[in-house]
Structure 1
Amino acid sequence: MALSIVHLLKNECPNCHKGKVFKDKSLFSFGFPKMNDYCSHCNTKFSKEPGYFFGAMYVNYGLNVIQGIGTYFIVRPFFSETFDLRIFPVIAGVLIALTFFNIRFSRLLWIYMLKNYAT
């Protein structure tokens, strides 16, 4: 399990752990991700069928919820009132800053969760 997380964070193929899923090597680059169609080492197809990454949107939503709640609890001590409307722009800023990371990470999570599906 811990080994898969390391490979996932390194943008590696879920099958052979040698090829890259995304053309850009880093998970932290800006712009919409450009994916490789196949692994350069073992020829695993990353997009199994049309609409394959539709489920990754739900993973992305879950990541955003977790990050939003986490941001709230981190910045809450810096505000005097329990419910201060000035917290919302801070949370929105964090979520916008993490958008491109979340897109890549959710797709990688989706590929790793369903790596044995219809190979």
Structure 2
Amino acid sequence: MCLNFAVLRIKVMSKVLDVVQCKCPNCGKGKVFSGQGNIFLFKMPKMNERCSECNFKFEKETGFFFGAMFVSYALAVAQMIACFVLFWYFVDLSPMRVFSIIAIITILLSTFNFRVSRSIWIHLFYKV
């Protein structure tokens, strides 16, 4: 019984790592995005149409990633709440400084949220 739990835990952690690293949900080797993007150059990451390793098609249909927008929103809200708690209660900054820091961090993490939310969305609807 303990061995099965250990194997399950390894599989779950492997999937979480695939999501964060934006790997293909089918093979776990190919990359979903061809670039990281750069917020300072106003450049969002470019997404591959298919996996380079197993030819898995990432976008199932037109508008497939519309739901990833809600995942991105949830990630941004969680990041904002974490920043608020950290800077308001532990660093004790003024409200305007806390708001400014939260806005800057949210903007800087926008390309990360874009990539990870799409990766979560792809993995969420992947059928084994």
Q: What is the RMSD computed on CA atoms of the aligned residues?
A: 1.7
Letter in 2 for 1:35: M
Q: Which runs of 5+ in 2 are unaligned?
A: 1-11
> Structure 1: which 5+ runs fail to align?
none
Equivalent runs, 1:1-119 vs 2, <5 Å: 1-24=12-35, 26=36, 29-30=37-38, 31-76=43-88, 77-79=90-92, 84-116=95-127
Question: What CA distance in whole angstroms lies between the structure 1 residues aligned with 2:26 and 2:70?
Answer: 23
TM-score scaled by length of structure 2: 0.80
Aligned pairs, number: 112
User: Which amino acid in 1 is paired with 2:25?
Assistant: P
CA apart distance, 1:41: 1.5
Runs of 4+ in 1 over 2 A off after TM superposition: 77-81
Secondary structure of the residue aligned to 2:59 is coil
1:51 and 1:61 map into 2 onto residues whose CA distance is: 17
Percent identity reads 41
Structure 1 or 2: more helix by fraction: 2
